[in-house]
Structure 1
Amino acid sequence: MSLKRYHISQNNNILKISKAVNNEVIYSSFWFMEFGKTCAEIKNAKNEVVFSITKKFQFWKWRMVYLISQKTADLSILIAQNTRYTVFKLDLLSGNYEIKVHYKKKKSIFKDGEKIAEFDESFTNKRVELLVLNTNELKIIFLLYACLLVGENEFKSKSIIKSQKQLETNKNPWF
């Protein structure tokens, strides 16, 4: 198993992912408020919009939903699977993705039940470490992570989760 290392940095409402070796920015995300909704765009290194995200709260189901559209106008939905916001699922043609929020400021992304990435937010407030199993999945991995940070001005733990016991267990930690 060969893992690739990346860094994610955030400055207010701008999120960037770069290579750990030379800090070359690969993707960036910018979120903004529009007509009472929180929206975001993900751009590649050529500054072309790859994804658009709209964050909504389904009050009647008490869960967070992220509407994701691509250039081709396909619409996908990332949905919180519980009211603690520790598990999110996204179904795409390329596979079924799942994000789990773990203890000690870590998150994992799974594709069809297999772990493909792990984030470690415990290093500093300005940078997140990312380990990726397959670099071909980097665009989707960054999309999923950016969804969780839409509307957040800085890296911080959410106050909604009161106890580490409410988070998902990390059965196979990479960090």
Structure 2
Amino acid sequence: RGADSVYVQNGKGISYKVKSFYNDPVNDIAILKISDKSFDNLPSLPYNIKRGSSGIGESVFTLGFPKDDIVLGDGYVSSKNGINGDTLAYQVAIPVNPGNSGGPLLDNNGNVVGIINGKENKTDGATFAVKSKYIMEALNAIPQDSLSKRVSYGKRSALQGLKRNKQVEKLQDYVFMIKVYNNN
């Protein structure tokens, strides 16, 4: 919000200009589209967005850019609700840093179960993630005429059954660092 320009940077350090495609300040979700002509489209998404909810104790992991290299974090869902009983989010016990915000929260089958959106500084290890249900709602709210083609979701994640290191290998090209610039 209020940015002059926004770029995403991949794990190889290459940056691409993006435009905000959809903003949902209530659920803290922004969907970005890479608008840079030099970007080569990626193959089909290897992950799926989980349609059901995750349970307390379910193992989860995240990938993000708290520094220039992509970082893996492991943990579990610690509460079905976020801070102050927020039903839009999970509380997860997973180490995160500011660069993890906006990154995916995935289950062991490689399904996106949420998007990391905050950390409670007063409570050690309390991290929050917007639930996948609201990610689906945001994707479905994008006006059809603004898309060159409709976002499609597979029935099964291509990451299911793979060891974590192989999941990360397949995922890392789909996770970007977001860089926001404001000249004011």
Judge same fold: TM > 0.5, yes or no: no
Q: Tell me the TM-score normalised to structure 2 length.
A: 0.26
Kindly indicate whether structure 1 or structure 2 has the higher relative contact order, using CA contacts under 8 Å at least 6 residues apart: 2
Higher helix share: 2
Between structure 1 and structure 2, the one with the greater Rg is 2
Higher strand share: 1
Q: Tell me the TM-score normalised to structure 1 length.
A: 0.27
